[in-house]
Structure formats: structure tokens, C-alpha cells
Structure 1
């Protein structure tokens, strides 16, 4: 029998339905893989009982002749940013260590309702703040990939959804949830040779997802290919009256609508994304992606997004500002960590709790956010950044008059070594240079693996679409996926 952990979401779903193997066999195979992969540090909490219970429900339903649920027999990983009832949900931070929510996030509940089982909670950058999964309070996630130069340097799996990307690439789970605020689904997907899509802002409910930057945060799926992402997204998306930003729109049948032909489509190539110092391999992959799009029937045009150069500065004002507000609730009073030094008053308790509970990157962003929202600087920083955000959204609107989709690299480099950029926040922030603009505009965007660099590490291509056009993004992703034929996988060393 094929190793069940080598199969993706569609293959597992269809195999269980056809009786080729049982859901329990699938769950057991993945549970063993998760337990054996401790060196990756991808899982913070393992929940084999949850996966086994879902598998039993699927097998019982099949034995009774009932119609199986859409994700019956599929065990997945859940990013630690999603609240899961009775299971620690800490956002990889000491300040929430031990917090077991009495409720379930909307997205995770939708996945359980669709028949999926949970293998565990996945490690991440603390409060989703980071691009390398080095800010977790519970240790770095390590990418399963290694450079082919003979070195054994531990590589970053990307962030903040690094536990998700590492687990999928290492075949610990066929798919996982991620969240994307400025690129936290797409960049880790590119670093580990998997697919991931950030849907239109509002497609997936934010209710029960621990907040970072509320006007930017969006849940999405990560999996090994485009089809599996489409299947997952169908289960995750939908209107939720508990989320004021949730879009009241029907969920399309994205899997059924998949079509790799781009005939009649025009794909724009934004000239501002040709940044100084871009590695030749990224440039070459981008050109290869353009050629693949042409082969799929698309017309290629150059477009301009003139305010792109302001996207990162605007993002790193808006996101920390919203974070400083959202994270004010972690004060040691209502839940989570409480650090109460002897003889301390209320203010001392606040200060000690937040100093001990938050990591350095979270503190940095809270301080930046508090500064840009302060009375003397609000207009100079936050108001200006908000105006720039509007201009960036208008740039995309203008581009849509010339094209249907945009094609860019996902990240400006392949995966870097852990520790190589952690001492330079600005160098780390530049990892998001290609992903942040579409986040600011709330647009759907996807990363698909396109090839390997000279060190044998994955490189990704990004497709950006119009608001609500996830189908167009998925179809273009499928067209590139089929032509790239990416089949590389990391060799197990863990």
C-alpha cells in the first residue's frame, strides 16, 4: 500500500470514500509521523484523540451507508492562532500559555463539521508577528528542507505560519490552516515548496482567531497542491454574523470550478516588483512563470502599481498600531499569565506581566504601534499610512482595467538560515515586500511552488486576483502548477 502520509487531501478523501483504506488507518499513519518529528518542533500540542474520533465517525458513517462529509477521513493541523475548545490556544506566547478556550473558532468548527480531524496545534511566530518562526515562545520551527551544499544549517520555514508549512512539507499532515496578515500563508508556502492561498479579506471568519491586526488578518488553507487548497477553502469560508467584517456572500464550488486554461485571460506583470538586488534565480523563475502563463493561453501585459514602494512602510505602521490596541487586553487580570511581584501594585503587575509574557518582537511592535497612535504623531504616521493604503488599493483597481490577474514572485529569496536575519528587523521585514501590497488591499493571493534554487531550496510564484475572484487565482495557480511539475520533497533527516 502507498504510504498514506504521502497522499494529499483529495486522495485521502476519495480513498476513504472508495474503501481503499479506512479513515482510522489514515489517522494512525499521521499520528505516528507527528510523534516521530519532534526535531522539527512543528506541533505545540498533539491531539491524537481528536483525529481518531473524527476517523471513527467517518468509518462508522461509511459502514452505515451514509454519505460522507466533504473532509471525512482527512486529518489536518491547526495553527495555534485558532481557538480550539478545550485545547491550549496560546498564539505561541507565554502570556497565553495554558489557555484552553471554552469555545471553538468559526473556521475550525467549519472544518470539524466537514469531517476533518485535528492532529494538533501548530507552532507559529508569537501572535503571528514574524517571517521566520523564530519569535515563538516555544522554540523555533525548523524547515524539513536542507541546502544541497552539504551543510546542515537549520533553515527557516517562513512565518508566521511556519509550523503549518513545515508540517505539510514533512508529510506530517496533508493540509493545515494558516493566517495571513502581510504574507504569513504565502511566504512560508514558498519557503517549503507547498501551496497556500490568502482569500479575499472577509471570506473566512476571524471569530475565534487570536487577533494581530484586525483589518488585515485573514485565515486560509495551506496544502501540497492547488486542488487541496480549493477543497480546504470551501470548508473554511462562509458568512459569520459574529464577525462584523465577514462577507455575506455564497461560497463558490472552487474545486469543481478548477480549470487550468488561461485562454482569454490577461495577466499583468507589475514593473515595480522588479526590485533592486533581486537574485537572478528569482528573476529567472518569474520569467519562467510568465512563459507558463502564456503557454496556458494568457496574454501578458506590463502594469504599474506606482505606490508599491510605500506598501511596507505603511504596513509596518498600520499593523503594529492595530496590534498595540488588540494586545492591550493581555494585562494579567482576566486570563492568561499574571506576574505579581511581592508588594506590587496594579501598574507594577501590568508591567511585569507584559514584560515576561510577550517576546521581543511583540514588544517592539506594541511600542511602534503605541507611538504611531499617540496624540502628537497620529496624523503624521497612522493617518498618512491609511491614506497610502487607499492609494495602493486604487493602484490595483487601475491595474484591473488592463488585466485579470497579476503574477509576481512570492518572496525575494529562498529560505534563509535560522539566526541569519533575526538580529536585523528591517532585513526580516523585507521578506514581505511582494506579499504586503495585496494584503493592504484585501485581495486574494496565492503562492505555488515553481522550482528550486541552486542550493536545492523551493521558490514560489504568487498570483494576485481581484476581490472575490479566488476561482481565477486558483485556476492560474493550477495552470502554473501543472507546467512547473514540482515534485521535489525534503529528505527526512529528523
Structure 2
């Protein structure tokens, strides 16, 4: 094999397993050895279940030995953000309040991955209750960016982004309420996908905001994401928000001349905190699309600030509703950032929440009834800069607006599928990324387009030497 196992796409790993050129036990051992080597620095995993991993791997090898190929994920390791339940395993949500909690049953996502024959490695770091922020006062240290461990990972699926980028696991499942899959994917240089709302079940996943939460994968390639989505998508009676509509997720070649793509470049150029390197990188991506025959047209993305305000009000109100009892009874056990982020939800009136919900309907209608009928895809920034240094976070939330200027929450408000793709590196060696957004339930086209664009964007793989390079690792406040 010319490439190390952790750099290969899932299709190639599946081929090696199915042709018996590789065993799942050997593949699992490869990733466990990488976890042993790099996780003490990266803090991506907070719990590794070696016994379960080897048990799953041996079971997968038995399936493959019988001459049946199983599923495309049979024998391939995965890990879960520590808000996903796995039966009898701890689900701590990275919080002192949950350290004694063990799940009575598995989340639907975990059950479907297990049924596919995938190999469970363990739980990944998050922010407390998938909100909070990077902090040393929590039961586990914050995950660190493998491109430079003195830098942030992006958002609450922090361990997932770091683990996939570092080659500790090929599949990580995260959640995305305002960008917590796409932020870490963007800042860690991997692929992250927020499916259409209702496509993936959230049963058995600790909620942050019932109407904004999405679950989805972080992987190295868009086709990897498709393979995971094929395993986990679909109606679930345990989650009444899932849709009965069955998506056709078969890959198709993109005929670019048949696509008209909206490009709100002003979101970059109007913001003084945008890194010029990101503007140049996205302009190059537009150039590739144009050369391939796509019609890329600059548009005004109306009322971005209203999308942001609308989403923040809904998230604040719903997260307070989730936590109100514990805030009253055990408020001192929350981390500082988490407490500061949840408590303002108590001040939101019913009238203000209803105003936000009405605004949500209007904004969703504009996007899906006015913009998307004219365009098949929307090219969008992910964040406006590369990963910030940990010392840019103060002791109180929120940090300065330029520290984590994500551009992701509009599509939690509307529910549209959104893919974060790596664009390349800054001169400082930190990843940049973009988003591809599609029409509701057009998840497959978004992944098709992502796969096609990866061939042009050619994100370099993270080398072990970079992760081993000494960085000034500072304590994280909070």
C-alpha cells in the first residue's frame, strides 16, 4: 500500500477488507496505536473501549471470512461525540453533572453503525453539553487542533474534528446546532456534513436545541461521508422529527454546465475580520467551478445578521428549557462558559421566541422559495479565518466577535444540507474551508459536488511530523 491506512478513503479500506488483504483486527490495531501515540497531546478521545473494539473487529472478520461482504462499513472503526448514547457506556457530555451516567440503550445512530458491522472505538471530546467552550475546568481537557496544538478546533464536535484530521479514526459522528460539525471540519481540515433536518435520527443524543440540532459525520472525504450517511439515514419512530422520505444517496457524476451556483462573496469582503487568504482561496475555488462550466453568480445573501439572531434566540430558549432544572439544583457544577451561555435563555419571553419562530419561517421561505429555485447550490464561507489561538479566549463568554466568526447557523435555521470542505492551508499551516449548501433533501448532490471539488482543492494530508512539532501549548481559560 502506497499510503498509510489512516490516509485511505473508506472505499479503499472496504476493498482491502473484502479481498482479505487486511483484517479488521489489524485495521483496528492501527488506529488504536495512533490513539496511544497522539491522543495524550490532542485530547480528542476521552474514552477508548479496547475490549469492545477488538470484539467488534473479530465479529467483522468472521462476517468477511464467510465470503459475504457485509456492508460498506463492515470492519471499519468509528467513534462518537460524547453526547451519543452507547448501551452500558458512559455518556458524560464532557460535564461534571454527567460523570456517573451510563446509557440504558444505544442511540439510533450507534445502533445503525453497529448493525452495519462498523467497529466502535470510543467517545470523543466535546464542549460541555455541546455548548460551553474550550475550558480546563471540566472533567476532561479540551481537544486541540492537530495542525497546531496551541489552536482551537472549531466548535463542540472538537474531538471529532481533531481525531479525523490526526488519523486516529476514519469516521466520527458529531452534532451541529449552530455549526458544530462544520466548524471543526473547517478548522481541522476535514469534511463535515450537516444533513437536511430530519434525515438522521437524534434519538439517544443529548439535546441542545430540539429544532436546530442535527447529527452527521466528519470524515476525510466526501464519498466517505456518503457511505456513513447511507448507513445512518432514515426514518426512526424513536425520533418523530425524522422524515419518512427515503433519499437516493447513490453517487452521480456532476455535470457542471447544468448547474447555477450562488456565491455571496460580500460576506467575506464586507467583514473586516476576514482573512485575505480565505478570500483568495475561495476565489480560486470559484475559478475551478467556472472553468468546469458551472455558472457561478455573485448574489446578496439577505439579512445574514437576522439568520444569526434568529438562530441564537431559538437556541438560547431551547437550551435553557433543557437545562432549567439542573441550573436551579446544580448550577455550581456547570463550567463557567456553559453557565454563561445557557442562563440568558431564562430572559427570553414567549413573545420574543414566537417572533424568532415567525422570522425563521420567513427566512427559510426566502432561501428555499426564492434563492434555491434559481440555483442548485450555494457556495458559502465556513468561518472567516483559520483556527484561533487558545489565548484569544477570555475568562468569560462571549469572546470577541472575530475570534470564532463562523458562518454556519443560517442552515440550522433553515434545515438545508451543508457540507464543509477543506480549501488548503494558510502560510501559518492552518486549514481553511468552505461550505456547499443545497436544496432541502438534495443531500446527494451536495456530496457529489463536494467529491468533484476535492479533486481540484487537493487538501494536503496532515503529517505525523506536524503533530509532533513542539508548539507553545497554553492553558485554556474558562
Asked if TM exceeds 0.5, the reply is yes
Residue 457 of structure 2 corresponds to which residue in structure 1? 484
1:428 is displaced (CA, Å) by 5.6
1:200 is displaced (CA, Å) by 0.3
Q: Summarize the Cα distance change of 1:466–1:137 in structure 2 as closer, same or farther, 3 Å threshold.
A: farther
Structure 2 residue 248 is the aligned partner of structure 1 residue 248 = no
Quick check: 2:212–2:413 contact (8 Å CA) kept in 1? yes
Quick check: 2:247–2:441 contact (8 Å CA) kept in 1? no
Residue 310 of structure 1 corresponds to which residue in structure 2? 306
Residue 368 of structure 1 corresponds to which residue in structure 2? 344
Find the aligned partners of 1:214 and 1:45 in 2 and give their Cα distance.
Answer: 26
Structure 2 residue 297 is the aligned partner of structure 1 residue 301 = yes
Quick check: 1:444–1:466 contact (8 Å CA) kept in 2? yes
SS of residue matched to 1:419? helix
More deviation, 153-162/164-173? 153-162
| Of 219, 231, 251, the match for 1:257 | 251
1:54 is displaced (CA, Å) by 1.6
Residue 101 of structure 2 corresponds to which residue in structure 1? 99
Q: Summarize the Cα distance change of 1:50–1:263 in structure 2 as closer, same or farther, 3 Å threshold.
A: farther
Q: 1:339-418 counterparts in 2 under 5 A? A: 350-351=328-329, 353-356=330-333, 358-373=334-349, 378-379=350-351, 381-397=352-368, 398-418=370-390
Q: Aligned pair count?
A: 461
Find the aligned partners of 2:134 and 2:157 in 1 and give their Cα distance.
Answer: 9
Find the aligned partners of 1:432 and 1:213 in 2 and give their Cα distance.
Answer: 21
Quick check: 1:203–1:247 contact (8 Å CA) kept in 2? yes
Residue 108 of structure 1 corresponds to which residue in structure 2? 110
Find the aligned partners of 1:329 and 1:35 in 2 and give their Cα distance.
Answer: 39
Q: Summarize the Cα distance change of 1:433–1:67 in structure 2 as closer, same or farther, 3 Å threshold.
A: closer
Quick check: 1:125–1:134 contact (8 Å CA) kept in 2? no
Residue 205 of structure 1 corresponds to which residue in structure 2? 201
CA-to-aligned-CA distance 1:180-222 (integer Å, 9 cap, x gap): 1111111110111100110001110010000000101010010
CA-to-aligned-CA distance 1:104-140 (integer Å, 9 cap, x gap): 0001111111111111100011111156577854111
Q: Summarize the Cα distance change of 1:60–1:488 in structure 2 as closer, same or farther, 3 Å threshold.
A: closer
Quick check: 1:84–1:104 contact (8 Å CA) kept in 2? yes
1:38 is displaced (CA, Å) by 1.4
Find the aligned partners of 2:137 and 2:289 in 1 and give their Cα distance.
Answer: 37
Residue 270 of structure 1 corresponds to which residue in structure 2? 264
Find the aligned partners of 1:428 and 1:279 in 2 and give their Cα distance.
Answer: 14
SS of residue matched to 1:32? helix
CA-atom RMSD in angstroms: 2.0
Structure 2 residue 67 is the aligned partner of structure 1 residue 65 = yes
More deviation, 296-305/285-294? 296-305
The TM-score, its normalising length taken from structure 2, stands at 0.92
1:309 is displaced (CA, Å) by 1.7
Which 5+ residue runs of structure 1 have no aligned equivalent? 147-152, 332-349
Which 5+ residue runs of structure 2 have no aligned equivalent? 470-478
Structure 2 residue 401 is the aligned partner of structure 1 residue 420 = no
CA-to-aligned-CA distance 1:423-482 (integer Å, 9 cap, x gap): 451536873541011111011000111111121111001101111001111122122211
Residue 44 of structure 1 corresponds to which residue in structure 2? 46
More deviation, 4-13/77-86? 4-13
Find the aligned partners of 1:216 and 1:393 in 2 and give their Cα distance.
Answer: 13
Quick check: 2:165–2:462 contact (8 Å CA) kept in 1? yes
Q: 1:455-466 counterparts in 2 under 5 A? A: 455-466=428-439
Quick check: 2:24–2:75 contact (8 Å CA) kept in 1? yes
Find the aligned partners of 1:203 and 1:136 in 2 and give their Cα distance.
Answer: 32
Q: 1:209-224 counterparts in 2 under 5 A? A: 209-224=205-220
Q: Summarize the Cα distance change of 1:302–1:22 in structure 2 as closer, same or farther, 3 Å threshold.
A: same
Find the aligned partners of 2:325 and 2:19 in 1 and give their Cα distance.
Answer: 49
SS of residue matched to 1:431? coil
Quick check: 1:156–1:417 contact (8 Å CA) kept in 2? yes
Q: 1:224-243 counterparts in 2 under 5 A? A: 224-243=220-239
Quick check: 1:134–1:418 contact (8 Å CA) kept in 2? no
The TM-score, its normalising length taken from structure 1, stands at 0.89
SS of residue matched to 1:66? coil
| Of 318, 324, 347, the match for 1:322 | 318
1:306 is displaced (CA, Å) by 1.6
Residue 157 of structure 1 corresponds to which residue in structure 2? 153
1:314 is displaced (CA, Å) by 1.9
Quick check: 2:52–2:120 contact (8 Å CA) kept in 1? yes
Residue 446 of structure 1 corresponds to which residue in structure 2? 419
More deviation, 118-127/276-285? 276-285
Find the aligned partners of 1:291 and 1:135 in 2 and give their Cα distance.
Answer: 46
